[in-house]
Amino acid sequence: MKNKTVFVACDTSNLSKIKKIITQTRSKKLKIIPKFGLQFFYSKRGRKFLEDIKSDFWLDLKINDIPQTALSAIDSLKDLKKCKYITVHANGGLEMMKAVKKEAKKINKNIKILAVTVLTSLNNKSLKQIGHTKKVKQLVLKQADLIKKSSCDGIVCSAQEAKIVRKKHKKLLIITPGIRLPGDSSDDQMRIMSPKDAFENKVSGVVIGRSLTKGNIKKNTKRLIDHLKND
The DSSP symbol for 160 reads H
> How much is the average pLDDT of 129-149?
95
Question: Looking at residue 33, what is its pLDDT?
Answer: 97
Q: Domain extents for the chain?
A: 5-229
Contacts of 134 (CB under 8 A, 6+ apart): 127, 142
The class that CATH gives domain 5-229 is: alpha beta
Residue 126, pLDDT > 80, answer yes
Residue-wise pLDDT tens digits, 148-186: 999 999 999 988 899 999 999 999 999 999 888 887 766
Name the nearest CA neighbour of 86 among 37, 136, 46, 128.
Answer: 37
Name the nearest CA neighbour of 207 among 199, 217, 215.
Answer: 199
Instruction: Please tell me whether residue 80 adopts helix, strand or coil conformation.
Output: coil
> How much is the average pLDDT of 173-201?
82
Active site residue ranges: 62
> How much is the average pLDDT of 65-77?
95
Q: What pTM did the predictor assign?
A: 0.92
- Within the chain, how many helices (H) and strands (E) appear? 11, 8
Question: Looking at residue 3, what is its pLDDT?
Answer: 77
> How much is the average pLDDT of 194-206?
92
Nearest-angstrom CA–CA distance, 222 and 225: 5
Nearest-angstrom CA–CA distance, 85 and 33: 10
Residues linked to residue 176 through DSSP beta bridges, in sequence order: 206
Residue-wise pLDDT tens digits, 76-99: 999 999 999 999 999 999 999 999
Q: Which of 78-87, 131-140, 142-151, 182-191 has the lowest mean pLDDT?
A: 182-191
Strands (DSSP E) found in 37-141? 57-63, 83-89, 112-116
